[in-house]
Structure 1
Amino acid sequence: MPINFYLAKGQREQSMLGQHAQVYTIIRWHEETLRFVIIQLQARLYGIELASYAKSISEQLKQLIPSFSQLINWCNKIDPRAVGSRVLVGQIDPNTNKLMFQSSDSQIVWLIRQEKFYKMLVSQKGISGELLPGDQLIVGDQKLIDGLDNKILPYKPIQNQLENILFGYHQDNKLLIISSPSKQRLSLDKLKKIFLSIKTEKPKPNNTTPIQMLFLKKPNIKYQGKREVTLAIAGLFLIALIISVSFGINKRRQLIQTQKEQQLIADITYRLEQAKSLQELNPTRSKTLLSEASLALNEYVSDNKLPSITLNNLKNEVASAYELVSGLIIVSQAPLFYDPNLLKDGFMPQQLSISDDELVLLDTQNKIAGSIDLQSKSAQIVAGSSQIQADSRLTTIPAWMFLLSGNKLAIIDKNIQKQIKSFTLTSTTVSDMVGYGNNLYILDVPAGQVLRFRGIKDSLAKAEDFFNEKQDLSGAVSLAIDGSIWILYSNGSVEKYTSGLRDGLYTDFNLDKPIQKADTFFTNENQNNIYILDKQQGRIVAISKQGEFKTEYTWENLKNCDGFVVSEKIGKILVLKDGKIWGINLK
Structure 2
Amino acid sequence: MEGGVWGQIFERDGLIALVSAETETISAGREVISRLNELYFGAEARGLAILKKVVEEMINEFEGLQIVAMITTDDYMGIVSVGGGVWTKKADGEGWIIPLEAESKSVVAMGGKIVPGQTIVAGDQAFWTGVTLGSVKAAVEDPDLEQGAEMLGTMIRGGQRMGGVGIVLRMQNNTQSSILNTQKAPKLNFKVQWPKIHLPMISLPKINWPKGNTIYLAKSKEEKQKHTLWVGILFLIILTILIVVGQVRRFELAQKNSEFAKRVETLKFKFGEAEGLAGINPTRSRNLLTEIDKEVASLSAFKQSKKDKDLAYIKSGIGEVLGIATGTKKTTGDLVIDLSLVRDGMTGTKMVFGDDKLWVLDTLGSRLVSVDPVKKSADVIAGKDILGESKTMAIYPGLTTILSEKGIVECSMLNAQCSIKLAFDEGWGNVIDMGMFAGNIYILGGSPSAGSGQVWRQQKTDTGYGSRQSWLADTEKIDELSGVQNIAIDGSIWLLKSDGQILKYVRGVKENINISGLDLVFGSNSRIYTDDEAEKLYVLDPGNKRVVVLKKTGEYENQYLWDGIDQTTGIAVDEKGNKIYLLGGSKIWSIPL
Q: Which structure has the larger Rg over C-alpha atoms?
A: 1
Pick the structure with more helix per residue. Answer: 2
What is the TM-score when the length of structure 2 is the normalising length?
0.47
Q: Compare relative contact order (CA 8 Å, sep 6+) and give the higher one, 1 or 2.
A: 1
What is the TM-score when the length of structure 1 is the normalising length?
0.48
